[in-house]
A and B are shown apart, each in its own frame.
Chain A
Amino acid sequence: MSASPLSCDSRRFVYLASPLLALASLLASSAFAQDVLIRNATVHTAGPQGTLQNADVLVQGGVIRAVGSNLKAPASASVVQANGRRLTPALFGGISEIGIDEVSGESATVDSAVKLSNDQPMRPEFDVTLAYNPESVLVPIARVEGLGFTLLAADTGGSFLAGQGGVVRLDGSADPIGPRVLFVKLGNDVLGLSGSSRAAQWMLLDQMVGEARGRIGADSPHALLTPTGRAVLARYLAGSGRIMVSVNRAADIRQLLRWAQRERVRIAISGGAEAWKLAPQLAQARVPVFVNALGNLPGDFDEIGATLENAARLHAAGVEVSFAQPGNDSHNARKIRQLAGNAVANGLPWEAGLAGLTRVPAQVLGVGDRIGTIAPGRLADLVLWTGDPLEVSSVAQQVWLGGRAMPMRSRQTELRDRYLRAEGVLPRAYSP
């Protein structure tokens, strides 16, 4: 290397005769073809087959038909030579507000939380998926980075029992798949919504459970829930959906485990800064944890025990681990790969890191029979990478959702391309 960048010029940029661009244009021409044979990939199935070298994946009708060596290409299929590059299931985009939060600072564009100005703030029936906008610019921005699905979250507005969300695939389809998820937040972030005490969070939660189970009469003058809310909460108490609990402090997680066992509900934990302290109990109760793998500071007194080894310790104890970002989780949903990579850099096995972005969240959220692994019968939600998918220096080369090669373009690539070029005679607004 000989360039002297302190007196540099544009020569330091090697303009690549990019094989990526060539592939992209090839694929763009067949954007709606759903039959494709991906040849000679390193296939990370994220399932029981593990990683397959020099493998082919055949996609027909939007579904994976075969995974193996030297598969025959049907006449209808376009063939993509992967040249050994890595192929993974399309990744989990985290617990986000993609499509329900366009510009976070502009409340008119944000639908993730309900705050009703009456005396019944507890609304488990609130369902953010009804506000989901598949045409949000955030969808392609996440998708071109290899993200194929996300868990839309209800955020706390008027209650620490925030409401429901669900899984959406980022292919532009309008409706969620799989069961709904109920969101509850515990700990110091929601003291203002629970009478200033963590203890009151359990008091209120128990009362709501009592109402939903009919132990407290529907005509109680102090009812917290509406009739619809009782019915919705009852469904979760009957085990028909997962309750996602955002909680960090070990003491609160201990109470949560007792509560979940007593009420026989299926829970998952997001955040879980101190979850590692209860790793054996979480493993025994089969409670998955969506870890903020970059959290190692005591951001508050609920996170004193935060450590970069959280994911590794939980996994070692047998807990299923996925990932969740604490903030900017929608616009920068793509950062979730970096969480997984850092978890691996701090002791999590690589395969568990990939599983946390694919199989684990799909299974935990009740859609593992459709997405999250590469296997015959699964939807062909796939990503071909330039390198290690957990590595920040890699990017998604091509994304397929339901077998469709997705355009590798977004509002951000449009802005980029407009300003990559020198301005011409006319201002840039005249360029595409």
Chain B
Amino acid sequence: MRITLLAVIGLVTVCGSLDAAPARSRFTQDPYPSTYQPIASGPVLLRNATVLTGTGERLEATDVLLQDGRIVGVGQGLQAPAEASVVDATGRWITPGLIDVHSHLGVYPSPGMSAHSDGNEATAPVTANVWAEHSVWPQDPGFHAALAGGVTSLQVLPGSANLIGGRSVTLKNVTATTYQAMKFPNAPWGLKMACGENPKRVYGQKGGPSTRMGNIAGYRAAFIDASEYLRKNQPKPATPKKKRWWESASGGGTSDSAGDSGGKRDLKLDTLAGAINGEIRVHIHCYRADEMAIMLDLAKEFDFKVAAFHHATEAYKIADRLAAEGVCGALWADWWGFKMEAFDGIQENIALVDRPANGCAIVHSDSEEGIQRLNQEAAKVMASARRAGMEIAPERAILWLTRNPALSMGILEQTGTLEAGKMADVVVWNQDPFSVYAHADQVYVDGARVYDRSDRTRHPKSDFMLGQDAATGGAK
């Protein structure tokens, strides 16, 4: 298969449209904006690799050209600009940068001290007002370990103690002193919700909910408030309807908010309203198939869309429905049994969610260890699937780690595949990545070589790790 996707001419306009800030409603204005700046870097030609594009294709003896932070071309025999650094990738594999849709890096960082326990605002069952980004500790050494595993973007979520835990944040996996400098430009927020055992366990003795029916009542009450808030905060038509003498003095006006009758801003309802109007993506921690079905009904009742069910150890039982409704399953390869709602987990869960047409399977980590080897997690799924008679090719499996998480997080137009014009988030592997022996040799974020296994100067190190063991080299 021979394709060339050089798009140098069109690049500027493409980039312009990709980077344009989306129009935001008042619910999703950002007072804590991204200050992320790609690291300046010259063009890079990665030459003669096996390339998994993340669009479902596997290309042999193929080059990938990175320039000005973007992927410029994927094809055979690409010409490098004169100043390009050329990497001989013969025998190596290239994939899009990996994306973890479920991480608590930064909010439950290493070391896991009580002072660092910032992932669950477990003070009330509905805390849609909190934003995970305000808990992120950028010095978490876990970010660097994940980078060495090829992870270039991640969604950091609040924990699952609460029915509605708050806003997630999507980060580029770059080192920075502030989280704003890691914040993925213009990525939508997520909303973290949780089904089942966790909320009822945490709040069972603290005023409830203490049952699954209590959980559902809790979501409904919150979304009823949000629907009312959304209605009251709808932009008013440009020409106000004629005011009658008995109507309130407030209301009317021409600007967006001049006619509000919604009262003062409510952070909790801002987030839920943003979820209903589709600007904030709903990610739900939910294990059991029957509970996922309830959550899909809840989503219909309040007219929001579920981006993904997370953990979802029983997703395989409703794989067809998830695919039909365009809901992704963000899943582990093999975790199960640590609690009752995880008792039916199987190793083929991801393969079975992937199986239907339009199935959207994602390998997620929820773990500072697992995020370092998402490729191995996928390889385990492929092996289990093969044992069950399902052969899944590497060019398919890579979607679980790149395209599909990007889709669920609303960043697929910017990253997640190796297509001209996208962010140059790229991993060069020393071999087929679906192996326990695979290493990420080089990792590029927006075209900058931010990790290189064979170059110590490209091994970022957290402030926390400095001076811990100078004599012997310290922790890797």
Chain A interface (Cβ < 8 Å from any Cβ of B):
1-6, 8-10, 12-16, 18, 20-21, 102-106, 138, 277, 294-301, 303-309, 328, 330-332, 334-335, 338, 341-342, 344-345, 386, 390-395, 412, 415-417, 419-420
- Whole-angstrom CA separation of A395 from B376 in the bound complex: 14
Contact A419/B368 with A104-B338, A297-B145, A391-B437 known, Cβ cut-off 8 Å:
no
B389 beta carbon closer than 8 Å to chain A: yes
The chain A residue sitting closest to B341, CB to CB, is A105
Q: Which of B317, B337, B383 sits near A394, CB closer than 8 Å?
A: B383
- Whole-angstrom CA separation of A428 from B46 in the bound complex: 50
Contact with A along B345-376 (1 / 0, CB 8 A): 11110001001110000000000110011001
B39 beta carbon closer than 8 Å to chain A: no
Q: Which label, helix, strand, loop or mixed, suits the secondary structure of the B interface?
A: loop
State the 10 A-B residue pairs at the shortest beta-carbon distance, nearest first: A105-B339, A341-B436, A5-B56, A331-B337, A14-B391, A297-B110, A307-B476, A104-B338, A392-B379, A392-B436
Question: 5 A-B contacts, Cβ less than 8 Å apart?
Answer: A5-B396, A296-B145, A331-B338, A334-B334, A416-B348
Residues in chain A near residue B357, CB distance under 8 A:
8-10
Contact A15/B389 with A138-B337, A298-B475, A393-B435 known, Cβ cut-off 8 Å:
yes
- Whole-angstrom CA separation of A18 from B387 in the bound complex: 8
Contact A5/B399 with A298-B111, A345-B439 known, Cβ cut-off 8 Å:
yes
B12 beta carbon closer than 8 Å to chain A: no
Q: Are B476 and A345 in contact (CB under 8 A)?
A: no
Contact A395/B1 with A103-B339, A103-B340 known, Cβ cut-off 8 Å:
no
Residues in chain B near residue A342, CB distance under 8 A:
373, 376, 436
Q: Are B368 and A297 in contact (CB under 8 A)?
A: yes
Q: Which of B112, B337, B386, B472 sits near A16, CB closer than 8 Å?
A: B386
B93 beta carbon closer than 8 Å to chain A: no
- Whole-angstrom CA separation of A414 from B476 in the bound complex: 42
B141 beta carbon closer than 8 Å to chain A: yes
Docked complex: B303-324 residues within 8 A CB-CB of A: 316-317, 319
Residues in chain A near residue B392, CB distance under 8 A:
12-13
Stretch of B167-175, B206-214, B256-264, B461-469 that contacts chain A = B461-469
- B252 CB to closest chain A CB, in angstroms? 49
The chain B residue sitting closest to A16, CB to CB, is B389
Residues in chain B near residue A305, CB distance under 8 A:
468-469, 472, 474-475
Q: Are B56 and A298 in contact (CB under 8 A)?
A: no
- Whole-angstrom CA separation of A399 from B399 in the bound complex: 33
Docked complex: B384-410 residues within 8 A CB-CB of A: 384, 386-393, 395-396, 399
- Whole-angstrom CA separation of A332 from B336 in the bound complex: 7
- A100 CB to closest chain B CB, in angstroms? 13
- Whole-angstrom CA separation of A155 from B387 in the bound complex: 35
Chain B interface (Cβ < 8 Å from any Cβ of A):
1, 55-58, 110-113, 141-142, 145, 197, 316-317, 319, 334-340, 343-348, 352, 355-357, 368-369, 372-373, 376, 379-380, 382-384, 386-393, 395-396, 399, 434-439, 464-465, 468-469, 472, 474-476
Contact A4/B56 with A103-B337, A298-B475, A419-B316 known, Cβ cut-off 8 Å:
yes
Contact A298/B464 with A103-B343, A416-B346 known, Cβ cut-off 8 Å:
yes
- Whole-angstrom CA separation of A3 from B112 in the bound complex: 45
- A396 CB to closest chain B CB, in angstroms? 9
Residues in chain A near residue B317, CB distance under 8 A:
419
- A25 CB to closest chain B CB, in angstroms? 14
Q: Are A298 and B338 in contact (CB under 8 A)?
A: no
- Whole-angstrom CA separation of A300 from B141 in the bound complex: 12
Contact A298/B336 with A15-B389, A20-B387, A395-B384 known, Cβ cut-off 8 Å:
no
Q: Which of A296, A300, A344 sits near B112, CB closer than 8 Å?
A: A300
- Whole-angstrom CA separation of A245 from B262 in the bound complex: 61
- Whole-angstrom CA separation of A299 from B113 in the bound complex: 8
Residues in chain B near residue A303, CB distance under 8 A:
111
- Whole-angstrom CA separation of A307 from B382 in the bound complex: 28
Q: Are B475 and A296 in contact (CB under 8 A)?
A: yes
Residues in chain B near residue A334, CB distance under 8 A:
334
Residues in chain A near residue B55, CB distance under 8 A:
6
- Whole-angstrom CA separation of A309 from B395 in the bound complex: 31
The chain A residue sitting closest to B56, CB to CB, is A5
- Please give 7 more A-B residue pairs, beta carbons under 8 A apart, in addition to A5-B56, A307-B476, A419-B319: A8-B56, A8-B357, A15-B389, A105-B197, A391-B436, A393-B379, A420-B389
Q: Are B391 and A344 in contact (CB under 8 A)?
A: no
Q: Which of A6, A16, A21, A308 sits near B476, CB closer than 8 Å?
A: A308
Q: Are A1 and B393 in contact (CB under 8 A)?
A: yes
- Whole-angstrom CA separation of A6 from B357 in the bound complex: 9
Residues in chain B near residue A294, CB distance under 8 A:
369, 372-373
Contact A10/B434 with A301-B111, A305-B475 known, Cβ cut-off 8 Å:
no
- Whole-angstrom CA separation of A20 from B389 in the bound complex: 10
Q: Which of A8, A307, A332 sits near B334, CB closer than 8 Å?
A: A332
The chain A residue sitting closest to B434, CB to CB, is A393
Q: Are A335 and B334 in contact (CB under 8 A)?
A: yes
- B5 CB to closest chain A CB, in angstroms? 15
The chain B residue sitting closest to A428, CB to CB, is B317
Contact A3/B393 with A104-B339, A298-B465 known, Cβ cut-off 8 Å:
yes
Residues in chain B near residue A344, CB distance under 8 A:
436-437
Q: Are B336 and A13 in contact (CB under 8 A)?
A: no
- Whole-angstrom CA separation of A14 from B390 in the bound complex: 6
Q: Are B435 and A415 in contact (CB under 8 A)?
A: no
- Whole-angstrom CA separation of A431 from B438 in the bound complex: 40
Contact A297/B142 with A332-B334, A334-B334, A416-B388 known, Cβ cut-off 8 Å:
yes
Q: Are B437 and A345 in contact (CB under 8 A)?
A: yes
- Whole-angstrom CA separation of A334 from B336 in the bound complex: 12
Contact A304/B468 with A103-B337, A299-B112 known, Cβ cut-off 8 Å:
yes
Q: Are A12 and B393 in contact (CB under 8 A)?
A: yes
The chain A residue sitting closest to B317, CB to CB, is A419
